[in-house]
Amino acid sequence: MDAAIEPQPAPERRAADLPQADATLVRTAVHLETTSRVGQQLTTLVDPEDLLGQVVVMIQGGFGYRFVGAWRVTEKGDCAVLSAAAGQAGGEWNAPGLRLPLDSGRAVTEVCRTGNEHESAGSTEDRQPCAELVLPLRLGDKVMGALELRSDRGEVFSRDERLVLQMLAGQIAIAIRNAQLYQREQTRRHLAESLEEIGRELSSSLDLEELPGRILERLATVVPYERCSVMLQDGPALRVASQRGFPDEGRAKDIRIEILPDDIYLQLVDTRRPLWLDDVTQVPGWRLVEWLAVNRSWLGAPLIVKDRVIGMISVTRREAGAFTADDALLASAFASQAAIALENARLYGELNHAYATLEQLDKTKSRFIEIAGHELRTPLTVIKGYTQVLQTLPVFHGDEQARTLLDGTLSGVSRLYEIVNSMLDVSRIDSRTLQVHFEPIWIGAVVMQVCANFAAAMRERNLTLITWGLEDLPRVEADGDLLLKLFSHLLVNAIKYTPDEGSITVTGAVVDDGAVEIVVIDTGIGIDAAHQELIFERFYQTGEVSVHSSGKTKFKGGGPGLGLAIARGITQAHGGRIWVESPGCDEASCPGSRFHVRLPLRRTG
Ligand code: ADP
């Protein structure tokens, strides 16, 4: 058997010198040996094209045929393509890539179409003897291609030879299938990886201007194309948000395609699935852009956001029939990622816009407070001054009615003064121009002073005041006037939001991180969790403004909604922190609120 492993001389030539029986034996031995070598080779190859290329060479050499060709049926099943060839078949037959429609009536295409073997014997055009055997490469009912074998002999292939070749054809079919499966698996894995990577990359971009361009750039790595565009629906038309491969960028930007009733885009909208056309020139009514070269293959994938189609990715190739179901699937998977990214970028854009608008509104609000505060203060000073002068005029002496009227005017003016001052405080806090004069102060004394200031109001409302731990508080570096304001606002609120007969407790303690903490506790209506942060914003009020009673320390008395904003501004200017705790708001059960103010003992920063 050693001789058979050597480079393969044609078995006919070796067999010619031997008696008939021996010659047949040698030929069969060589055929079997070739078959076994081919079989081994088949298991090692993973690329179907490579595999066929090597197999035809081995068979042609091993069996000593004039020509061996391996044909494959195209994915669409309409043509047979010569995938690999070895030897001399004469003329065009030698050229791999040759494509024959399955209905062309040639021996190979008939075998591919019917799955039946074909055999013929005779002579070539130049009267050389020849025989042809075409075997189907099939798996079950599916014909994947054909193995074409031509010998120089004028008689048909022997039974043994055919058996061996049939066996080989069976092995080749299985090997092709395996290689295809392997390759598909590889491709799938590669695509899954790149889709994941693309998704990650796209979702990291929040720029709506640049994103469609990146989408197309990345799409090219999974579905090759000549031209491609992201088209977004804009009312009754589709406009090009981005494109690649268009010769004139400026003109491409202006493309607007009106959506007609029978538009293919509407099919995408209806089916929510990708669609592809083999040849748009065969589609009646297909609208071509006159300045663009005709690309015959078209593939469209819908961009779906929350079950709504917002546009599509449209991909084209020059030649007809270029896209496959796999491409459509890929484009569709890709479009899903792209749609999410586009939606994220859109939402981000809207959020930014809303934020900018809010910022602008906030500035306008600050400006309004500042202007109103300043403009009101001057006439108020005048009114206050004149009213005080009026009180001293002899003409009003002994006139009780006039006195009451003037007292009322003055108390109204004082209240207005307080509001205007609060507005000015807030505008200073907003513009960070609040002046803080730090000096060591007895904070307990300041808080007790505030409590004393409101003693009358509390008596009037039958509220009990309890203080605890204030006398023992140390000195802190702070601005006494500002702290007076801060705790006044807290105490006024505690009085305002606690019904008559309730109690207010004010405690003070040094806490372990070098700070003092004052807590103002009331047995009032309490505050819902949803409002506990927001009440520190300017003008924020939880109840309905119109139902507030108007007195400053009356139950649910009115206020401009500035007290807590000022309290927070002052606390923060001291490097401290203010917050509220309350189980919720309930006017019947009055769960109460606890306002905590924590201030550092020493000036920070
Ligand atoms: P206002 O001038 O309305 O009192 P504030 O800024 O002082 O403005 O308070 C804002 C809102 O916070 C109040 O309208 C009220 O709804 C709520 N609030 C403040 N303090 C208390 C409290 N002790 N108990 C219940 N609600 C309070």
Kindly indicate the confidence band of residue 531, based on its pLDDT and cuts at 50, 70 and 90. very high
Give residue 409 CA to ligand 1 midpoint distance, Å: 26
Superfamily of domain 11-185: GAF domain (3.30.450.40)
- Give the span between the Cα atoms of 576 and 604, in whole angstroms: 9
**Which ligand 1 atom sits nearest the alpha carbon of residue 560?**
2
Atom of ligand 1 nearest to the CA of 524: 24
**Of 96, 219, 210, 80, which is closest to residue 145 (Cα–Cα)?**
80
pLDDT of residue 545: 54
Give me the phi and psi of 158, to 5 degrees please: -70, 160
Enter the tokens of residue 260.
């007609």
Pairing mode, strands 118-123 and 593-600: unpaired
Ligand 1 centre to CA of 535 (Å) is 7
Residue of 283, 344, 341, 362 whose CA lies nearest to 316: 283
Token code pair at residue 437: 């004069």
The 3-class SS string of 60-126 reads HHHHCCCEEEEEEECCCCCEEEEEEEEECCCHHHHCCCCEEECCCCCHHHHHHHHCCCEEEEEECCC
Helix (H) or strand (E) segment spanning residue 353 = helix 325-392
CB of 541 shorter than 6 A to ligand 1: yes
What's residue 482's pLDDT?
A: 96
560 lines ligand 1 (CB under 6 A): yes
Give residue 527 CA to ligand 1 midpoint distance, Å.
Answer: 9
The third-level CATH classification (topology) of the domain covering 434-600 is Heat Shock Protein 90 (3.30.565)
> How many CA atoms within 13 Å lie on the side-chain side of 391?
15
pLDDT confidence band for 483 (50 / 70 / 90) = very high
Cα 206 from chain centroid?
A: 9
Nearest residue (CA) to ligand 1, atom 18: 493
Strand partners, 304: 309
pLDDT at site 556 = 80
Decide if pLDDT at 587 tops 70: yes
| 26-35, 496-505, 540-549: range with lowest mean pLDDT | 540-549
The pLDDT assigned to 309 comes to 94
What amino acid is encoded at 99 in this protein?
R
Residue 524 Cβ inside 6 Å of ligand 1? The answer reads yes
379 CA to centre of ligand 1 in angstroms: 29
Distance (Å, whole) CA 532 – CA 570: 18
More confident site: 500 or 186: 500
Q: Match 């306008």 to its residue by tokens.
A: 364
**194 in Cβ contact with 221 (< 8 Å):** yes
Find out whether the beta carbon of 301 lies less than 6 Å from any atom of ligand 1.
no
Q: Give the pLDDT score at 82.
A: 93
Res 12 pLDDT > 60: no
* Nearest residue (CA) to ligand 1, atom 11: 541
Cβ burial of 494 (10 Å; 0-12, 13-18, 19+) is: buried
Which pLDDT score, from 0 to 100, does residue 1 have? Answer: 34
Question: Which of 489, 497, 553 is the best mutation target for the ligand 1 pocket, counting ligand atoms within 8 Å of the beta carbon and taking the most?
Answer: 497
586 Cβ neighbours under 8 A, 6+ residues apart: 525, 526
Q: Which atom of ligand 1 sits closest to the CA of residue 562?
A: 6
| CB distance 522 to ligand 1 below 6 Å | yes
Nearest CA to ligand 1 atom 19: 493
* Range ranked top by mean pLDDT from 163-167, 490-494, 550-554: 490-494
Decide if 11-185 and 354-429 have a common fold: no
CA of 416 to the centre of ligand 1 (A): 18
Question: What integer pLDDT is reported at residue 200 of this predicted model?
Answer: 79
Q: How far is the CA of 417 from the centre of ligand 1 (A)?
A: 20
Q: 564, 571, 578: which to mutate for ligand 1, most atoms within 8 A of CB?
A: 564
Of all helices (H) and strands (E), which one includes residue 145? strand 142-151
Atom of ligand 1 nearest to the CA of 595: 23
CA angle 504, 509, 510 (to 5 degrees): 160
Alpha-helix runs per DSSP H in 106-236: 107-114, 159-203, 211-219
- In this prediction the pTM is 0.57
Give the confidence band of 161 by pLDDT, cuts at 50, 70, 90. Answer: confident
Q: What's the pLDDT score for residue 600?
A: 96
Rounded to whole angstroms, what are the CA distances from 562 to 371, 535, 536, 540, 559?
A: 16, 9, 8, 8, 8
Q: Give DSSP secondary structure letters for 317-333.
A: ESSTT---HHHHHHHHH
Say whether pLDDT at 547 is over 60: no
Measure 543 CA to ligand 1 centroid, in angstroms.
9
Q: Which residue has 């009037």 as its token pair?
A: 460
Q: Is the CB of 559 under 6 A from ligand 1?
A: yes
Provide mean pLDDT across the span 245-258. Answer: 85
The per-residue pLDDT for 9 is 47
Q: Which of 188-197, 408-417, 529-538 has the highest mean pLDDT?
A: 529-538
Residue 318: what residue type? R
Contacts 24+ apart (CB under 8 A), 115-123: 115/141, 115/143, 117/166, 119/156, 119/157, 120/156, 121/153, 121/154, 121/155, 121/156, 122/154, 123/154
Q: Which atom of ligand 1 is nearest to the CA of 540?
A: 10
Any idea what DSSP says for residue 355?
H
CA distance 84 to 44: 18
- To test the pocket of ligand 1, the residue of 485, 486, 496 to mutate (highest count of ligand atoms within 8 Å of its CB) is 496
Residues 486-505 have a mean pLDDT of 96
Backbone angles phi, psi at 268, to 5 degrees: -60, -40
Q: Please, are residues 273 and 336 in contact by the beta-carbon 8 Å criterion? A: no
As a 3-state breakdown, the chain gives helix, strand, coil percent values, each rounded to 5, of 50, 20, 30
Ligand 1 center from residue 514 Cα (angstroms): 29
CATH C-level class of 211-340 = alpha beta
Phi, psi angle pair for 284, to nearest 5°: -60, 135
The encoded tokens of residue 236 equal 């009754």
Q: Of ligand 1's atoms, which has the minimum distance to the CA of residue 494? A: 23
CATH of 354-429, one of 1.10.287, 3.30.70, 3.30.310, 1.10.3470: 1.10.287
Question: Stretch 520-534: mean pLDDT, rounded?
Answer: 96
| Nearest CA owner, ligand 1 atom 3 | 561
| Overall average pLDDT of the 449-455 stretch | 97
On the question of pLDDT at 456 being above 90, the answer is: yes
Nearest alpha carbon to residue 214 among 309, 313, 299, 305: 313
Owner of token pair 């990886």: 193
Statement: residue 270 has pLDDT above 60: yes
Residue 391 C-alpha from the chain's centroid: 72
Domain-by-domain residue ranges, the chain? 11-185, 211-340, 354-429, 434-600
Quick check: 124 pLDDT over 70?
Answer: yes
Measured from the CA of 525, which atom of ligand 1 is nearest? Answer: 25
Which residues does residue 82 pair with via DSSP β-bridges, in sequence order? 71
Predicted pLDDT at 4 = 36
What are the distances in angstroms from CA 1 to CA 11, 64, 172, 533?
Answer: 13, 18, 25, 93
pLDDT of res. 431: 86
Q: What is the 3-state secondary structure (H, E, C) of 13-24?
A: HHHHCCCHHHHH
Q: Residue 553: its pLDDT value, please? A: 77
Instruction: Evaluate: CB of 563 within 6 angstroms of ligand 1.
Output: yes
Q: Which of 472, 454, 485 is nearest to 573 (CA)?
A: 485
What atom of ligand 1 comes closest to residue 522's alpha carbon? 23
In eight-state DSSP terms, residue 32 is: H
Mean pLDDT of the chain: 87
Q: How many CB atoms lie within 10 A of CB 165?
A: 21
Calpha distance 83→209 (Å, rounded): 46
Q: Distance (Å, rounded) from C-alpha 57 to C-alpha 53? A: 7
| Ligand 1 near 535 CB (within 6 A) | yes
What is the structure's pLDDT at 460?
94
Length of the chain: 605
Over residues 149-175, the mean pLDDT reads 88
Q: Is the CB of 497 under 6 A from ligand 1?
A: yes
Cα 522 to averaged position of ligand 1 atoms, centre (Å): 12
Query: 3-state class of 600 per DSSP?
Result: strand
Q: How far is the CA of 481 from the centre of ligand 1 (A)?
A: 22
Measured by CA distance, the residue closest to atom 13 of ligand 1 is 541
Q: What pLDDT, in 10s, does the model give residues 396-424? A: 888 889 889 999 999 889 889 888 999 99
What is the whole-number distance in angstroms between the Cα of residue 486 and the centre of ligand 1?
A: 13
Residue owning the nearest CA to atom 20 of ligand 1: 493
- DSSP lists the bridge partners of residue 84 as 70
CA of 363 to the centre of ligand 1 (A): 23
pLDDT, one tens digit per residue, over 47-96 is: 777 888 988 999 998 888 999 999 999 888 899 999 999 988 765 556 78
Tens digits of per-residue pLDDT, 558-571?
778 899 999 999 99
Classified as helix, coil or strand, 218 is: helix
